[in-house]
Amino acid sequence: MPNPKRRHSKSRTRQRRAHDAIATPQFQTDKETGEARMPHRIDPATGMYKGRQIIDVKDSE
């Protein structure tokens, strides 16, 4: 198993770890309801995706 010959500096280690940060989730506002939702997902309130009815949502009343 190869081992590093020299120790990596703190700067080099931190530069590598700079890419490991967790990105904030992206949200879009729905055109019909105005609520925030994640892109490329079915709207759980209406069951719509790209203007088409995908799933039937039952009213919880």
Two structure tokens written together for 36: 């925030």
Model pLDDT, residue 61: 47
* pTM tops 0.75, yes or no: no
Beta partners for 28? 37
| Domain range for 59 | 26-61
In a domain, 58, yes or no: yes
Domains held by the chain: number: 1
- Of 15, 16, 18, 37, the C-alpha closest to 28 is 37
- Please give the residue that has the higher pLDDT: either 30 or 54: 54
Asked if residue 22 has pLDDT above 50, the reply is: yes
Give the pLDDT band of residue 31 (cuts 50, 70, 90): confident
Q: Which helix (H) or strand (E) holds 10?
A: helix 10-17
In a domain, 43, yes or no: yes
Cα-Cα-Cα-Cα dihedral of 6, 11, 13, 18, to 10°? Answer: -160
Mean pLDDT across 9-23: 93
Mean pLDDT across 33-44: 86
